[in-house]
Structures are given as C-alpha cells and as structure tokens.
Amino acid sequence: MLKLKKAVIKLTALLFTLATVFCAGGLANVNAETTDITEINLTGNYQYGTVPAGVLPEFNPRTTTDSITIGLGNSGWSYYYGRYWRGFGGETPVAYNDGKTKYGYLFQVKPKEGYQLASSNLKVIYNGEDVTSTAEVSRWPWGAYITVDLGKAIGENPTTYKVTFNSNGGTEIPPKEVVSGLKIKAPSTPTKDKYLFKGWYEDSTFSKKFDFNTPITGNITLYAKWEAANSINEVKLAGDYQYGTVPVGTLPSFNPRTMTDSITIDKRNSEWMYKKENGAWSGFGSNTPVAYNDGKTDYGYIFHVAPNDGYQLASSNLKVIYNGEDVTSTAKVSRWPWGAYVIVDLGKATGENPTTYKVTFDANGGSGTMPAVTKKAGETFVLPDCDFTAPTGKEFKAWEVNGDEKAVGDTITVNASITVKALWKAKTVTPGTDPGTEPGTTPGTDPGTNPGTTPSDNPITNELKVMTEGQNDSSTVAKGNEVIYIVGNSTKAVFRILGEELGVEDLKSVLLDSKLVDASNYDVRKGSIIVSFKKSYVDSLAPGIHEIKFNTTKGVAKAELVVKQKTQTSANIIKTAKAQPNTGDSGMLYVYTLELLMAVGVMIILNDKRKKNNLK
C-alpha cells in the first residue's frame, strides 16, 4: 500500500507539473492571438422580397454571433443608387414599388475584444440563409459595414403628392414627389437675370411665405418671388500688386478694394491664390501663402464681390477692371446667388526663392500617415491635431519637438527641418461609453443628442454656398460643394462656407445626415468659415453619400461628403491568427484535469490514513 501511495503522489506531482505547463502555454496563446471570425449571423424583421412600399418601418437589427456587436446608431435602411448602396441621410426612408429600385439594410458590425473579421472567405448569414454572394462588405479598422440586399419593394405604393416649383422666369427647379404627411427640404436657390430671389410662396400673389416644416397633405405649387435688381455691368477692383510684380516668399498684405459704389469686397473671403499645373486656381488653405520663382506657377488674388442691396451682377458681358486696366479676358468669374468670386491673374513670381524646410510627422508606434508641411526659414507653424491611429490601449498625449513636449495648437518656429513625434499615454475610459467600444473609432453622434434635431429654436432659411476646390489634398476629389474622400488615400475633407461678412464665430453647428457632429471631430479656421473634418472621424463613417448641413448665424450651407474605401490589397489586409482559433477551452480543460487529479490523490491518502487508524 505504501508503494501504491508513493506512486500516486509521484504521478499526481508529474501530472500537476504537466497540467501547469500546458495550461500556462494554452492561456498565453489565447492572450497573444486574435481569433478570426469566419461567419457572421445577422437577423432582422424582413426577408428578401418582403420590403413593404411606403415609409420603411423599424427593422430591429441584431446578431446571434457572440463575438460581434451591432452598432444600432449607425445601422439603417439603404437603397441601391447608381453603382453603390446609399443611405437616406436626413430624409425619411421611403420605399417605392417601381420594379427597379433595390432596398437593403446596413449593419455596422464590430468584433469584440480579441476577435477580428476574417480577411477572406467571410460568410454572411441573414435570418438563417447564406447571403454571402449578394451582401456587400466594406471593411474598416474597427470592423465592417455589411449591407444585406432585401430586393425590390412590394405592395401598394404610398399616397404621394407633387410639389411643383414655379420659378417665375428663373432657373428651372424640378418637382418633388412627397409621401403624404412628410416634409420636404428647400430646393436649390433659383437665379434670374436682373432680379433678386426673395423666397417661395404658397400663392401667386405672394401673400404667404411657405414654411418648409409643413407636412405635405396635397398637391401644391410654390411660387418664386423676385425683386427687380439694378444691373452691374462693370466691376472696378484694386490691389497693391500689378501683373508680374508678385514677390517670392511669404506673400504680403494685398489690401483688396473697389471703386464701384454698387458692390462690396468682403476682405475676410478674399485672398492670395495660385494656379495648379492643370490650370485650376487653388487657395492655400491653412498654409501660409508663399510664392516661388519656378518659372511655371502663376499667382493671383481672389476678390469676394457682393452686390449691394438692390443690385445684381450682369449675367453676361461683365467687364472686370483691375488697377485701371481691363483684365476681363484673363480674370476668372465664378457666379453665386449672392454675387461672385473674381480671380485676377498676377503672373509668375519674381526674385530669389526663400530657404525652406520640411516639418514631418512620426507616428511613434501608431499607424497612418500625416502629410509633411513645407515652411520658409523663420516661419511659424501651429501644431495640428493628431490624425495617427493610436497603438492598442493608447491614446494621444502630446507632440514632441526637439525633445520638448508640445500641445496641439502650440506654435513653433521653423529654422531647420523638424520631425514632430506623437507621444502616447494609456487610454482612459470615459464614463457612460458603451463598454467594448474603442473610444474614437465609432462614428455617430453625442449620445445625448436627439438625432435629427437642429440646435436652434429659430431655423435659418438663408442658403449659403460651399466651395471645396483648392481646399483639399491631391488625393481627395473636390468639386462644387462635394468632397469624395478615399479611405487609405485621403487625409482630410475640407469645406469652405461662403458668405458676405461671414466669420468663424458665426458657425453654430454641423450636422451630418441630420445628426449633430461633435465639435471635437472637426477644426474651424477663418477664410469665411473653413471646416476641416478630422481624418479619424471621416475614416469611421459608413461608405456612401453623406449630407452635411452647416448652421450659421447668417444662414445654412449644404454639402455632400462621399466616402469610398480604397481597394484592399494583400499589403493592407490585417494579418490573421492561426487557422484553428484557440478559444481558451483547452486551457480550462487542463484546469479541470488538474483539479480532478489532485482530488484523487487526496482521497487515496485520506483512505490510507483511515485504514491505519482502524488497525490501531
């Protein structure tokens, strides 16, 4: 019996050692690796082919896959528009049985900690059916947006009414079809030569101005009201520099002015410009305007020309005079309902080029890129927001410049090439944040904001214009009031709100798809109002078209932000874990085995001791 007891004790010790080693090794592997999610099970209230025509109802998106969560605030009905899926933005989602339009639902899928979506062969199951071949998966660093195709709408179309716009001789505004009981947005402002637009009215006698917060309950016609304007046929402009006298280096004050009594020059929205190689004029954005004698770049000045009350710029044959010389043939005139931007070409720069240095950015363990900035010797540079993605478990702390810690917004003087390094700190958890959601990576609004509510008791109906050309980097497509942002290529999305005597202090709020955007997600600077959305925020938005509304004290400006994802290559696909995911179950098996062996050993020893006592 003694030999048996010794053998059991030795065996137990050996198994205890082996179990400890296996358990530790197994748990270490679980902590060190990320488990691939190869199948996602989604559910909702509607099957393919059952989408009802009319105002689209609640969908109740959910999942039966334990390793993911659904971001309800960023999931919603979609429809297939052109070549891609599009959300309804601020409009009420409505489906029509027209035999051609497809509808679907966009799920925001976020893997839980320790998991990631498989980089290939990801299976999508919806209400128990494999829809991998028809679902659209758009991958993001935090997870993916998955659009499930639900087919065309069925059933009787809702009662709709037509809103017709009678522009009374102005530019044509197409009619709108509206579901009974819903509201419409004001259309684009029409224009009419020698007349000023004064709003939309419910009758041809202009006795009552139409309120666009009114639900539509019948066919209506709205009438444009106009007021005769005095035509301005010649604009006389003046500035401190003639053609061919632009000095190299930091461009000086220009002192824009006019000798035409019927117009006003808004100096806050007038500035130096340069002509790019493709012939398009561009502003300097947030950079200090600097001219170089490179023999190819033209420089000019853009005048913000606003007619005084009762006046309007002539629709044709407008003559532009600059410092007494007729420059109509070389000046570029961009017309807007409020007036025009007039760019006067001043030719190439002259003189010796200044010494310049580069300011570059170091992610210091983070990921992403920030474009280098060129500065003239002795010029100052304001440290920007950090657009790098922080390392896991970290968040941005400050910048480091020549060994000194600097905060965002601090100013440095550039007298040599400088590397600005990001400093990181352990991430802090904000109370009230959804656990399991990594702060800063989830698109959406302040949870205390009522979606779709504009923070203003007195809506402003005056429509302002937005310009995007010359404000964005070369990897971002900008035209009119639209910015096309390519995730992985673009670094910013910038919109310039135009308006007479409009300044930074006039911006009240920014809404994206009718939801309030937290001010921490964009920067604002002067030049009318220039709003620059941060890269981290735009990267987090769903792919597709987003409607933006800028609310100011002077009116409302509307724009579109189109977010597209860069085509993935093997170089930017996240490295996956082992083919057979280690879930941690084997580690627990070792623990149970260990406990069982120890219990058996103790029982044998106690039983032996009991027998000895009985013999006594």
**CA distances (Å), origin 517, targets 226, 458, 459, 478:** 35, 19, 18, 21
Rounded distance, CA 85 to CA 351, Å? 53
Phi-psi region of 99 (alpha: psi -120 to 50; beta: other; left: phi over 0): left
What pLDDT sits at residue 37?
94
**Coarse DSSP helix, strand, coil percentages of the chain, rounded to the nearest 5 percent:** 15, 40, 45
Percent of the chain with pLDDT over 90: 40
| Statement to judge: residues 299 and 337 lie in one domain | yes
Is the pTM for the entire model greater than 0.85? no
Span 352-361, mean pLDDT? Answer: 88
Which residue, of 367, 399, 426, is where some domain finishes? 426
Residue 312 resides in a domain: yes
Which of 135, 152, 169 is the C-terminal boundary of a domain?
A: 152
Say which CATH number the domain at 470 has: 2.60.40.10
**Structure-model confidence comparison of residues 404 and 614, the more confident one:** 404
Do 245 and 344 lie in a common domain?
Answer: yes
Q: Is the pLDDT of residue 206 over 60?
A: yes
User: With the CA atoms of 72, 78, 82 and 83 taken in that order, what torsion angle do they form, in degrees rounded to the nearest 10?
Assistant: 40
Return the pLDDT at 614: 52
SS3 585: helix
Regarding whether 120 and 51 lie in a shared domain, the answer is yes
Is 217 in the same domain as 254? no
Q: Which of the residue ranges 45-54, 299-308, 366-375, 413-422 would you say has the lowest mean pLDDT? A: 366-375
Instruction: Look at the chain and report how many structural domains it folds into.
Output: 6
The range of the structural domain enclosing residue 180 comes to 160-228
Instruction: Assess contact for 186 and 463: CB atoms under 8 A.
Output: yes
Residue 202 has pLDDT above 70, yes or no: yes
In order of 89, 450, 564, 565, the CA distances from 512 in angstroms are: 8, 13, 16, 19
Return the closest-CA partner of residue 464 out of 494, 499, 495.
Answer: 499
Buried b (16+ CB within 10 A) or exposed e, 317-339: ebebbbeeeebeebbbeeebebb
Distance CA 494, CA 510 (A): 13
Between residues 331 and 544, which one has the greater pLDDT?
Answer: 331
Same domain, 14 and 42: no
Same domain, 73 and 118: yes
Q: Count CB neighbours of 15 within 10 A.
A: 17
| Contact call for residues 186 and 461 (beta carbons, < 8 A) | yes
Pick from 313, 331, 348: which residue ends a domain?
Answer: 348
Position 437 in a domain: no
Mean pLDDT, rounded, for 76-99: 85
DSSP labels, 97-157: --SS-EEEEEEEEEEPTTEEE-SS--EEEETTEE-TTT-EEEEETTEEEEEEEEEE-BSPP
pLDDT top residue among 374 and 151: 151
3 state DSSP class of 605: helix
Do residue 165 and residue 209 come from a single domain?
Answer: yes
For residue 173, is it within any domain?
A: yes
| CATH number of the domain within which 206 lies | 2.60.40.4270
Least confident residue range of 44-48, 237-241, 597-601: 597-601
490 burial class (0-12, 13-18, 19+ CB within 10 angstroms)? buried
pLDDT band at 433 (very low <50, low <70, confident <90, very high): very low
176 and 115 in a common domain = no
Whether 84 maps to a domain, the answer reads yes
Please give the structure tokens belonging to residue 584: 């941690």
Question: Does residue 284 come out as left (phi exceeding 0), alpha (psi in the -120 to 50 range) or beta?
Answer: alpha
The reply to whether 458 falls in a domain is: no
**Between 162 and 613, the higher pLDDT residue:** 162
Where residue 378 sits, what CATH number does that domain have? 2.60.40
Positive or negative torsion for Cα 323, 325, 326, 328: negative
Q: In this predicted structure, what is the pLDDT of residue 606?
A: 55
Mean pLDDT score across all residues of the chain? 80
| 123 part of a folded domain | yes
Contact call for residues 173 and 148 (beta carbons, < 8 A)? no
How far is 343 from 320, CA to CA, in rounded Å? 10
**Region for residue 310 given its phi and psi (left: phi exceeds 0; alpha: psi -120 to 50; beta: otherwise):** left
The Cα–Cα gap between 565 and 542 comes to 9
43 and 146 share one domain: yes
Distance CA 482, CA 465 (A): 11
Whether 53 is in a domain gets the answer yes
CB 188 within 8 A of CB 557: no
Please give the pLDDT value at position 30: 40
Query: Which DSSP string do the residues of 521-542 spell out, in sequence order?
Result: GEEEEETTEEEEE-HHHHHTSP
Give me the mean pLDDT over the 563-584 stretch: 41
The pLDDT of residue 463 is 76
Same domain, 317 and 374: no
Q: Same domain, yes or no, for 275 and 253?
A: yes
**Mean pLDDT throughout 455-467?**
56
Amino acid in position 142: W
For residues 453-467, average pLDDT: 53
* CA 111 – CA 575 distance, rounded (Å): 15
Query: Same domain, yes or no, for 289 and 306?
Result: yes
pLDDT number for residue 443: 35
| 303: in domain | yes
Closest CA to 35 of 586, 587, 590, 584: 584
